[in-house]
Structure 1
Amino acid sequence: MAILTTGVIENPTVAGQKQTATLSVRYRNTGHLPAVIQIWGYYLQGSTKVEYVVDSITLASGVVKDTQHYAQFDALEFRFMITSQDVKLKVWGKNVSGTMTAIYPVRPVDPISSGQIHEQGKKATENQLYAIHPERNSVDVLDKSTRAPIMTIPVGINPQGMGINPLTGRVYVSNYGSNTVTVIDGSTNTVIATVLVGASPAEIRVDSKTNRIYVTNQGSGTVSVINGTTHTVMSTLKK
């Protein structure tokens, strides 16, 4: 497992516009096994880091995937937790016209907690890191500082994706082999719900403002929308 960071990216204003309007990230899996990448994005408000991106993607062997992120802040930072050393990252900035303006190197860092303190929110989890283990059908909870295992949480079959709502402290794990999403209470690290979704769920995206969880079902070509309060599927969208 690797944890990488862009470091703090200073984003000056040039001719009335931010040098980097969009941050692009390219992920390339050169290995023979799928890899899970968890993504955190922060903007700096004074000396405070405010989390505004929490995402998770699953990358099959040989696959290249690009993601785009809003970046019109004075300073920002992105961090990535990757389950395989075979995943290569490239990060660059683009201006409002789509022209590349900078390439940002990434470097290893110590593990970060999956939950952060939000200026407008509360602690989701404190001093903890979550790691998916598809081969064991479980999620490990690790101590942020020491990397020591705290506990193992059994989930569904072949977990692939993870999403976190830092405002509620809920952790969502998609179980590719059992067509479910496991909901974990980050304050107690206990499973509080199992939600049946479509076939072969993989990627999860969490909208912390609306408390909605979007699950991509690869086997059925749909997206399940989960209500984060009731832990039920509100709707199923066609991809």
Structure 2
Amino acid sequence: MALFSTGPIDNSPILGIRQTQMVTVKVVNRDSLNSYNLVIQGFLLNGSRTMYVNEMVSLAPNQVLTRNYFADLDAFEFEFVTLEEVEAEIGISVWGKQASGELVDSHRIVAWEKHTAII
């Protein structure tokens, strides 16, 4: 198993409006033979850490998956856990977006290429 994390993301309002209202997660399975399972968890950070997204997805060989999640929160964090014991060829990126769909550069975390932590 491997754990990927965005770390805490500050999304405090600026002039009464939060920069990010939606988070787009893109995941790619670069393995041409094996499927992998991934758990996507989102947490509200408001003095305590409260899970508000908990989704398990299965990635077929060479599949690209896109998911959109609510993020109009003062602070949040996303974690991704692979369920397999093998080295997965998974790339993950997280994109903060405004309600209009415009990207928020400061809330962009682009593709982890390898596992960052083995648990």
TM, length-normalised to structure 1: 0.43
Following superposition, the deviation at residue 6 of structure 1 comes to 0.3
Unaligned residue ranges in structure 2 (runs of 5+): none
Q: Gaps (5+ residues) in structure 1? A: 112-239
Q: Distance in 1 between matches of 2:100 and 2:6?
A: 23
Cα distance, 1:2 vs structure 2: 1.4
Who is 2:109 aligned against?
Answer: 104
Deviation at 1:63, TM superposition (A): 0.7
Matched with 1:7 is: 7
Alpha-carbon RMSD across the aligned residues, in angstroms, is: 1.8
Residues 2, 13 of structure 1: alpha-carbon distance in 2 compared, 3 angstrom cutoff: same
Q: Which residue of 2 aligns with 1:20?
A: 20
**Considering only CA atoms, is the larger Rg found in Structure 1 or Structure 2?**
1
Q: Tell whether 2:59 aligns with 1:59.
A: yes
The letter of the residue matching 1:90 is: S
1:40 corresponds to 2:41: yes
In 2: Cα distance, 1:53 partner to 1:64 partner: 20
1:1-239 paired onto structure 2 within 5 Å: 1-31=1-31, 32-46=33-47, 48-82=48-82, 83=84, 84-102=87-105, 103-105=108-110, 108-109=116-117, 111=119
Q: Which residue of structure 2 lines up, in the alignment, with residue 156 of structure 1?
A: none
Amino acid at match of 2:109: Y
User: Using CA pairs below 8 Å that are at least 6 residues apart, which structure has the higher relative contact order?
Assistant: 2
Contact 1:29 1:87 in 2 (8 A): yes
Q: Would the aligned equivalents of 1:35 and 1:59 in 2 still touch at CA under 8 Å?
A: yes
How far the C-alpha of 1:7 sits from its partner, in A, is 0.2
Q: Which amino acid aligns with 1:98?
A: G
In structure 2, the CA distance between the partners of 1:17 and 1:110, relative to structure 1 (3 Å rule), is farther
AA aligned opposite 2:68: Q
Equivalent residue of 1:67, what SS? Answer: strand
Alignment length, in residue pairs? 110
- Secondary structure at the aligned position of 1:13 is classed as coil
In structure 2, give the amino acid aligned to 1:94.
Answer: K
Contact 1:36/1:56, CA 8 A, preserved across alignment: yes
Separation in 2, partners of 1:25, 1:45? 22
